């Protein structure tokens, strides 16, 4: 692997407090030097001219569905990570709702095998309970040893109080987060979108805000009962003001509670469902405008720890059916940066440095992915180079994902990825 010298770019590295013109040298998959322009000698390095571009630590997505094993017709680890690289991501954390469920060290190791042809680094998140059935815990020690960085039952939330408390306690001993898809499914049976005027107009059953917030409140109460400072609850794809307020209160009380928000939950509201558009069907559903605004407020004031895509590919035939029958989820890896910059920077003036923190530094910190989310000397040579002012049109047909289920086809984005480098290898180059 030849050394790479990235020259003349504007380095933004929130973890190191750098927001200035810097050259960066990558050697043997690590960051070897960071210095003022012209200070690093070229040697035999391949030179990348980044003049006029932002150089930042590679993006980190802690919530993706790569569909393997078992659902390769929707996505594979190879195609999903290729899409991630095109979006500027160098690390993705894969959810366990595969076929079979990733509830064993063997499946975790299978996902990490070189035969999967991952373009970037994959970090599996294992099932919290066997088969994600919510009845008995998986073997957290062996799962962590195999490479799992957290546990969750994701789309099948843990409803039993005893088993959730047991999960929080067992995970704390290993310093693993328990990630909860906050939905009390006893309140959402037969529901396909947010409860509100749009659902009423369309004749659809709606998921209430309380279905999310009540489970978050329950989990935070259990977290407090664990009495272990290592106990860590992470709320996945939070979508309601009430749930966010609960997380805020828990943190004020000293609990180790974190949360993520997906771009679609701060860009779209329930009106995007329109006339039964299944590309606007996801879980949690698109919420009321007040909740969408609350997500932006939470991001700006720092209550939201990070942005994660919840990339959920589905085959065209699965989405091309009645709204209530279509599966939940959209793709998101290639549109995340462009949507985030256009919305949070373009409309709400959030600095680019904060956006990099939300998409790289902070998600890496949430899951303790050491050496990721920073370009400090000695860190992994994970880099995204992008033009922060470039406007471009997202075209789903050109996506590197196997699936094209997105509500953002044809949207104008801001901030275009020019190159992605994963552990010193160029894994994506525009054009």
Say whether the peptide bond before residue 322 is cis (omega within 30 degrees of 0): no
The active-site residue, picked from 153, 154, 305, 310, is 310
DSSP-derived secondary structure letter, 361 = I
DSSP letters spanning 194-215: ESSHHHHHHT--EE-HHHHHHH
Nearest to 222 by CA among 252, 248, 244, 255: 255
CB atoms within 10 A of CB 2: 10
DSSP H or E stretch at residue 252: helix 241-252
Rg (CA), the chain: 21
**Helices 209-226 and 241-252: angle between axes, nearest 10 degrees:** 20
Strand partners, 417: 386
- Active-site residue, 310 included: yes
> Which two tokens mark 403?
């699936």
DSSP H or E stretch at residue 164: helix 161-173
Q: Cβ distance 93 to 326 under 8 Å?
A: no
Could you give the C-alpha distances from 192 to 103, 115, 233, 279, in angstroms and in order?
A: 28, 37, 26, 12
CA 4, CA 309: separation in Å to the nearest integer? 29
Q: Which residues are catalytic?
A: 310
């Amino acid at each position: 692997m030849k050394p790479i010298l990235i020259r003349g770019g504007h380095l933004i590295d929130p973890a190191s407090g750098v927001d200035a013109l810097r050259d960066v040298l990558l050697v043997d998959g690590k960051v070897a030097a960071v210095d003022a322009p012209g200070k690093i000698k070229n040697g035999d390095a391949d030179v990348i001219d980044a003049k006029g571009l932002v150089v930042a630590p590679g993006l980190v997505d802690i919530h993706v569905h790569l569909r393997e094993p078992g659902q390769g017709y929707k996505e594979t680890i190879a195609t999903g990570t290729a899409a991630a690289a095109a979006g500027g991501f160098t690390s993705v954390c894969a959810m366990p709702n595969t076929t079979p469920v990733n509830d064993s060290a063997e499946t975790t190791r299978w996902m990490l095998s070189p035969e999967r042809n991952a373009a970037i680094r994959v970090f599996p998140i294992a099932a919290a309970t066997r088969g994600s059935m919510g009845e008995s815990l998986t073997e957290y020690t062996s799962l962590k040893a195999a490479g799992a960085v957290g546990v969750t039952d994701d789309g099948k939330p843990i409803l039993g109080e005893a088993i959730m408390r047991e999960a929080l306690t067992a995970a704390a001993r290993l310093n693993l987060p328990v990630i909860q898809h906050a939905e009390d499914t006893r309140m959402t049976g037969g529901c396909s979108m947010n409860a509100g005027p749009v659902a009423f107009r369309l004749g659809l059953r709606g998921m209430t805000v309380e279905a999310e917030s009540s489970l978050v409140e329950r989990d935070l109460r259990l977290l407090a009962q664990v009495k272990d400072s290592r106990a860590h609850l992470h709320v996945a794809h939070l979508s309601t003001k009430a749930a966010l307020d609960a997380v805020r209160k828990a943190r004020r009380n000293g609990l180790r509670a974190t949360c993520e928000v997906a771009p679609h939950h701060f860009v779209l509201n329930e009106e995007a469902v329109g006339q039964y558009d299944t590309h606007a069907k996801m879980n949690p559903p698109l919420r009321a405008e007040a909740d969408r605004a609350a997500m932006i407020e939470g991001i700006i004031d720092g209550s939201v720890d990070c942005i994660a895509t919840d990339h959920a590919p589905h085959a065209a035939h699965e989405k091309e059916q009645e709204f209530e029958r279509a599966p939940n989820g959209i793709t998101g890896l290639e549109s995340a940066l462009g949507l985030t910059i256009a919305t949070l920077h373009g409309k709400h003036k959030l600095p680019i440095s904060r956006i990099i923190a939300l998409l790289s530094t902070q998600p890496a910190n949430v899951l303790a992915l050491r050496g990721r989310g920073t370009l400090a000397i000695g860190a992994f040579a994970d880099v995204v180079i992008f033009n922060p002012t470039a406007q471009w049109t997202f075209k789903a047909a050109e996506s590197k994902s196997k699936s094209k289920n997105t509500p953002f086809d044809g949207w104008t984005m801001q901030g275009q990825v020019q190159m992605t480098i994963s552990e010193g290898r160029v894994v994506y180059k525009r054009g």
